[in-house]
Amino acid sequence: MLHSPNFEHEQELITQGYCLIAGIDEVGRGSLAGPVAAAAVILPTTFDSPWMGEIRDSKLLSPAKREYLSPLIKQIAVSVGIAMIPSEEIDSSNIVEATKQAMCQAVNLLKESPDFLLIDFMKLPTVYIPQQGIVHGDRISLSIACASIVAKVARDHYMMGMDEQYPGYEFSRHKGYGTKYHRECIRKHGPCEIHRRSFLKRLL
């Protein structure tokens, strides 16, 4: 069953007087290589875009559908911020802190300052903006689902670029996730610079 996110959380906040509501989500948290990425998306308070009915959590969409929707989201959005935290910073802290850092940076990169944050699962205690963490938010909130799509497409493009820089791992194929083929590449070639050493201890 496909879960269709809606604008109900945002509408409730709009009735409370909030106008610039940013949905925030991350991707790449479980990857063995590459950055964790986050996006913050502020949707307009009203819009009439039929394709909005196609928005889902990015994990429920095909790559082609994500590539189709991401530029449409950016076009209609009041503002979009995208940030990535590289593997070495993930190793030096931990994935939870790196995820929060990516989310904070994505908020800071918004051209319009939001007055409320809707965040998938997490809260950002260092960001002094009213906020709500929503469990499975990318399947509930339209703004969060849009953020998940934008973040996923941006990170996928980054990993495709890394495929050219590190040709022995075929990052375009698996985007750094721990597929059987990717694990075989790591065993054959050893880790490269963008692999997360803290994630590879058990594998190696």
| 64 occurs within a structural domain | yes
CA distance 198 to 14: 42
| 204 occurs within a structural domain | no
Q: Does the pLDDT of residue 170 top 60, yes or no? A: yes
**Through-space distance between the first and last CA atoms of the chain, rounded to whole angstroms:** 38
List the structure tokens of 30.
């479980």
**pLDDT score recorded for residue 203:** 72
What DSSP line would sit under 150-200, residue for residue?
Answer: HHHHHHHHHHHHHHHHSTTS-HHHHTT---HHHHHHHHHH---TTB-HHHH
pLDDT, tens only, 134-168 = 999 999 999 999 999 999 999 999 999 999 999 99
| 81 occurs within a structural domain | yes
Residue 5 near residue 61 (C-beta atoms within 8 A): no
**pLDDT score recorded for residue 3:** 66
| 31 occurs within a structural domain | yes
Q: Does the pLDDT of residue 204 top 90, yes or no? A: no
| 36 occurs within a structural domain | yes
What is the dihedral angle through the alpha carbons of 54, 1, 121, 58, rounded to the nearest 10 degrees?
-40
Residue 47 sits in which domain range? 8-154
| 192 occurs within a structural domain | no
| 87 occurs within a structural domain | yes
Q: Does the pLDDT of residue 76 top 90, yes or no? A: yes
**What 3-state DSSP class applies to 30?**
coil
- State the total domains in the chain: 1
**pLDDT score recorded for residue 187:** 92
CATH of the domain at 43: 3.30.420.10
pLDDT band at 42 (very low <50, low <70, confident <90, very high): very high
> Most distant CA pair in the chain: distance in Å?
57
Q: What is the mean pLDDT of residues 80-85?
A: 98
CA distance 85 to 105: 9
| 173 occurs within a structural domain | no
Residue 64 near residue 153 (C-beta atoms within 8 A): no
Residue 125: what are its φ and ψ, rounded to 5°?
A: -65, -20
pLDDT band at 201 (very low <50, low <70, confident <90, very high): confident
